[in-house]
């Protein structure tokens, strides 16, 4: 990744972060008791109404999000809070001798991968104000931090004789506000192991700014056909990142504002939906927070497409995205961080899913990363490095899912949901090679990972 984390400058106590997270929840909570603890309770609908195998959104789920998470219909008076826990097991084809992460063994690791609390739903339905706000404990980093957050204010009117849903969003991760599952924040795989090796390269928009920025944007969906958005992102000060639990070790920072744009053509008919679009981000960056040596310029331009069929029994979903990143290392090359003054990086993801009775699912995904060789940016290092300076990686992801409560949970708590997943990631290339890709004798297939997950939300 280009944007690296920077070490904590302030060793905040854990109770300070916990108090801050409680303050966030208290701040978002409405003054009255009309809000609901989850979207299912708020709408009175089963999870399958909004999700084609959660968290992938259906047309109704996209409409719910565009309207500011405020649509009602349920009868619960519980507060709009939810929780998630993810017990998981990870096995890699070959062990990681130094351990998969601090406090974990070299292989066959059991972990509570993530534990999260959410504010999910309306803040004030009368004015169209709602939120998705998440705070997460990550077992690999042993860190509590704020996670994906999107607060929005939405309105409905008419324009040119057709409906127009428009609004504003404040969020902390470019593309987390998107309602299709082709942009990076919500694309497949929706979760994977944090204890398995992952390729070194990734475009900036693929999580490089997540939780380290604050963005404000305006969006509109006209006639349910044309979606447009423009958002601007600003770097959060390091003290704010530390307070929110973010590890800022060695990170590059935005210099000024970074614009993000989105354009989608959407068509829903019968039980089908089709969307094609483009998205992008451009940013000036201070490498490793050094503001006295000029700036780098990274520009990501993406193309994406999605098709869904949601039948009474069967569901089919196809997604694809392609991102081209232009990298001008005007500051990093003189500092020796990169070998080249200009590089490119191209990311491709696609997947096809089948869902039976909103309960049993199977997915096959393919991913590929291609880019310029850069010996300094992709240096040799055991497991995580590249012997050739190449960022090229590709592979397949196979997943089987069982979601017993997607159509409604048990009588005692009908809104609970659970996803049991068996996932296997198979690399055909890793950090530029197949055999001895890191210069220490490791093969790409040694990083193949079996991941067993129980994803519970309640």
SS3 27: helix
Within 8 A by CB and 6+ apart from 319, the residues are: 180, 181, 182, 187, 188, 304, 305, 306, 307, 349, 350, 351
What is the token pair recorded at 80? 């709009």
What is the token pair recorded at 396? 């397949």
* Angle value at C-alpha 17, between 13 and 18, nearest 5 degrees: 110
DSSP 8-state symbol, 337? S
User: What is the C-alpha separation between 317 and 358, in angstroms, rounded?
Assistant: 12
SS3 141: coil
What Rg do the C-alpha atoms of the chain give, in angstroms? 22
Q: Of 121, 154, 116, 117, which is closest to residue 29 (Cα–Cα)?
A: 121
What is the token pair recorded at 296? 């780098």
Residue that the structure tokens 């109404």 belong to? 49
Which residue ranges make up each domain of the chain? 14-457
Helix (H) or strand (E) holding 14: helix 14-28
Instruction: Output the pLDDT for position 413.
Output: 75
Instruction: Output the pLDDT for position 420.
Output: 96
DSSP string, 431-445: TTBSSSTTSSS--GG
Instruction: Output the pLDDT for position 414.
Output: 75
Neighbours of 272 (CB within 10 A): 14
pTM: 0.90
- Residue 144 vs residues 140, 367, 427: alpha-carbon distances, Å: 11, 30, 31
Residue that the structure tokens 């008076």 belong to? 77
Helix (H) or strand (E) holding 65: helix 59-66
Instruction: Output the pLDDT for position 445.
Output: 98
User: What is the C-alpha separation between 44 and 47, in angstroms, rounded?
Assistant: 10
Neighbours of 33 (CB within 10 A): 10
What is the token pair recorded at 232? 């601007």
Helix (H) or strand (E) holding 153: strand 143-159
The strand pairing partners of 282, in sequence order, are 299
Instruction: Output the pLDDT for position 78.
Output: 79
Report the length, in residues, of the chain. 458
User: What is the C-alpha separation between 133 and 116, in angstroms, rounded?
Assistant: 10
Q: In which residue ranges of the chain is pLDDT below 70?
A: 1-38
SS3 205: coil
14-457: which CATH topology?
Porin (2.40.160)
The answer to whether residues 17 and 245 touch, using CB atoms and an 8 Å cutoff, is yes
Within 8 A by CB and 6+ apart from 379, the residues are: 385, 386, 389
User: What is the C-alpha separation between 3 and 299, in angstroms, rounded?
Assistant: 13
- Residue 308 vs residues 26, 51, 358, 403: alpha-carbon distances, Å: 38, 11, 13, 19
Instruction: Output the pLDDT for position 53.
Output: 80
What is the token pair recorded at 330? 């005007």
């Amino acid at each position: 990744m280009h944007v690296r984390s920077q070490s904590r400058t302030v060793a905040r106590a854990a109770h300070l972060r916990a108090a801050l997270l409680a303050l966030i929840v208290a701040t978002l909570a409405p003054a009255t008791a009309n809000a609901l603890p989850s979207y299912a309770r708020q709408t009175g609908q089963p999870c399958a109404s909004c999700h084609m195998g959660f968290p992938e959104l259906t047309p109704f789920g996209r409409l719910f999000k565009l309207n500011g998470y405020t649509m009602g219909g349920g009868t619960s008076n519980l507060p709009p809070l939810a929780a998630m826990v993810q017990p998981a097991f990870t096995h890699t084809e070959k062990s990681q001798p130094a351990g998969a992460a601090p406090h974990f063994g070299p292989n066959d690791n059991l972990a509570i991968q993530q534990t999260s609390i959410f504010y999910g739903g309306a803040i004030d339905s009368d004015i169209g104000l709602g939120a998705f706000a998440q705070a997460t404990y990550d077992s690999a980093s042993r860190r509590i931090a704020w996670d994906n957050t999107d607060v929005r204010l939405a309105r409905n009117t008419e324009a040119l004789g057709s409906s127009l849903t428009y609004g504003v969003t404040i969020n902390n991760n470019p593309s987390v506000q998107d309602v299709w599952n082709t942009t990076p924040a919500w694309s497949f795989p929706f979760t994977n192991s944090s204890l398995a090796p992952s390729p070194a390269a990734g475009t900036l928009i693929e999580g490089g700014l997540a939780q380290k920025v604050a963005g404000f944007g305006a969006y509109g969906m006209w006639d349910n056909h044309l979606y447009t958005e423009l958002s601007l992102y600003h770097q959060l000060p390091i003290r704010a990142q530390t307070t929110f639990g973010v590890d800022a070790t060695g990170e590059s920072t935005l210099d000024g504002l970074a614009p993000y744009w989105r354009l989608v053509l959407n068509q829903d008919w019968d039980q089908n939906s089709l969307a094609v679009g483009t998205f992008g981000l451009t940013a000036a960056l201070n490498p490793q927070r050094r503001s006295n040596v000029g700036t780098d310029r990274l520009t990501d331009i993406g193309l994406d497409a999605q098709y869904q069929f949601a039948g009474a029994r069967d569901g089919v979903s196809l997604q694809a995205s392609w991102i081209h990143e232009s990298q001008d290392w005007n500051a990093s090359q003189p500092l020796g961080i990169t070998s080249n003054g200009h590089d490119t990086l191209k990311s491709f993801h696609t997947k096809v899913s089948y869902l039976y009775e909103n309960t049993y699912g199977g997915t096959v995904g393919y991913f590929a990363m291609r880019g310029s060789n850069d010996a300094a940016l992709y240096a040799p290092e055991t497991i995580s490095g590249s012997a050739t300076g190449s960022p090229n990686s590709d592979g397949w992801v196979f997943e089987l899912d069982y979601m017993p409560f997607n159509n409604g949970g048990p009588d005692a708590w009908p809104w609970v949901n659970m996803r049991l997943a068996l996932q296997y990631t198979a690399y055909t290339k890793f950090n530029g090679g197949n055999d001895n890709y890191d210069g220490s004798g490791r093969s790409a297939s040694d990083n193949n990972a079996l991941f067993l997950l129980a994803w519970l939300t309640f």
